[in-house]
Structure 1
Amino acid sequence: MESYLGVRASAWNGQRGALFRVHTSVADVYLSVSRSNYGNEERAVVEVDCARLLRLWRDAPRCEHAGLANLAILASGNPQTWRAHPRFELAAEGFSFGEHDPVPLAEVSCQASAVVPYVTFTDGVMRTLWLAAYAAKSFPVECGVHEAEALQRLAGSAGSRWRSVAELVPPQAA
């Protein structure tokens, strides 16, 4: 994973997490995923190609964010359209704190067995649009381990491989 920097403790709560740096046209921004008390083997991180992810998102049937997904694709040449969304500034504020308070990874679900494969978002729509608006070519997202291989194949960054949260953030030695 090109964006993975390693394991770091959060400055504000001390919680350990995997830290990622993503290059954008305005600045490098930081994201993270934290280890939880359970389920770390069932959670995966996939570094996705932005354009490929947006195409998969657009194909989601009955998606509550379908308008944003279509906006993301149709306005791909005009990021000003994304920036006009009322919640866009919240994502900008989140990214403004840098590596000392990184934003959580977007959480997606990949439906590869559908007639037309697609992704949906559980969390992180505006963060994703912010990254797209500022020309991030790739960035990490979180999904279930059972979906990681398909998401990697359909939208993964070239040369990267998915990893479980347990791999990225091993348990702390006692």
Structure 2
Amino acid sequence: MIELHSITSDYSGTKGIFEIKLDKEKVVYMSIAKTNFNNDERCVVVVDATKFLKLWKAEPYSIHSDISMGNPETWKNDRKYHHAVKGFSFGISNPVPLANVVCNEHVISKPIYERKYILFKKLLRIEEIGINYVSYINGITRTIWLLCNGAKSFPIECNLKDGAQRLAEYAGYGKNSFCTVEQLTNGT
């Protein structure tokens, strides 16, 4: 099971709250809310920051490639970065929602040729190469804020049909890095 800080229930519902360790002994809090539907399909995956960033950089279709290919210096200049600074400043009293991603595979067809004479070549076969990648539904700014502040791992929301198991396999942080919201909240 994923380690979390607490499960809370109040007038707004049930939430799983995670404590994320940053540089210099600082901690911040993120949460995922249990909803009235799809809790057995919505998943939390605790990802290794380095592996996750590699998957994000591999996204072939991204309109956000300038961000994914950036670094802490460029990320801090993002137009919405100040919103994440404010959002994380509230601490456990108002934890930041988890970012939501899709983890998929892009298949590249690579032709393999045999050289015939100097100018000619013969097609032998076509190899298909799968490239795993992550794309965002919501939460890029939260993620770059965590990366800028030294988070080695953090939780991400990903639906089963959107590749949660794939995300856990390729970027998961240790054993038991993946569970559904239903499992996380123990049926509350």
Is residue 124 from structure 1 mapped to residue 171 from structure 2 by the alignment? no
Deviations 1:121-160 (CA, angstroms, capped at 9, x unpaired): 1001000000000110000000012422211110000233
RMSD: 1.7
Matched with 2:31 is: 32
Matched with 1:133 is: 148
Q: TM-score, normalised by structure 2?
A: 0.81
Deviations 1:13-72 (CA, angstroms, capped at 9, x unpaired): 54210010001125200000001111100101000001111110011112121110111x
What letter corresponds to residue 51 of structure 1 in structure 2?
A: T
- From 9, 14, 26, give the equivalent of 1:16: 14
Q: Where do 4+ consecutive residues of structure 1 move more than 6 Å?
A: none
Equivalent positions of 1:85-164 (< 5 A) are 85-112=78-105, 114=107, 115-146=130-161, 147-164=163-180
Structure 1 residue runs without a partner (length 5+): none
Equivalent positions of 1:66-85 (< 5 A) are 66-71=65-70, 75=71, 79-85=72-78
Q: TM-score, normalised by structure 1?
A: 0.87
Separation in 2, partners of 1:14, 1:38: 15
Identity among equivalent positions (%) equals: 33
Greater radius of gyration (CA) = 2
The offset of 1:2, in angstroms, is 5.8
What letter corresponds to residue 182 of structure 2 in structure 1?
A: A
Count of equivalent residues: 164
Separation in 1, partners of 2:78, 2:102: 23
